[in-house]
């Protein structure tokens, strides 16, 4: 099941701490960012492929915005 989320960007952009969506902290979910984003961007839209249970957990994260 696929859903889109708008989420903060984390990471310093240095080697070993690359820029990535904050949902990357959740193990076992597959995410992609369909378009590149500029270093220093505050938020990014990511597409997540996960189970319904995993999406339910993500929906509880107040930093993530589910896009319909």
Residue by residue, what is the 3-state secondary structure of 1-68? CEEEEEEEEECCCECCECCEEHHHHCCCCEEECCCCCCCCCCEEEEEEECCHHHHHHHHCCCCCEEEC
pLDDT at 11: 86
Q: Quickly state the pLDDT bin for 64 (edges 50, 70, 90).
A: very high
CB 44 within 8 A of CB 30: no
What residues does each domain of the chain span? 2-67
Q: Specify the pLDDT at position 39.
A: 66
Note the pLDDT of residue 18: 86
Q: What is the pLDDT of residues 3-60, one digit of tens each?
A: 999 999 998 888 888 889 999 999 889 999 987 777 668 899 999 999 999 999 999 9
């Amino acid at each position: 099941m696929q859903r889109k989320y708008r989420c903060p960007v984390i990471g310093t952009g240095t080697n070993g701490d690359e820029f990535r969506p904050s949902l990357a902290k959740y193990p076992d979910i597959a995410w992609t960012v369909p378009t590149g984003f500029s270093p220093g961007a505050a938020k990014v839209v990511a597409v997540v492929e996960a189970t319904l249970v995993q999406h339910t957990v993500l929906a509880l994260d107040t930093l993530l915005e589910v896009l319909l």
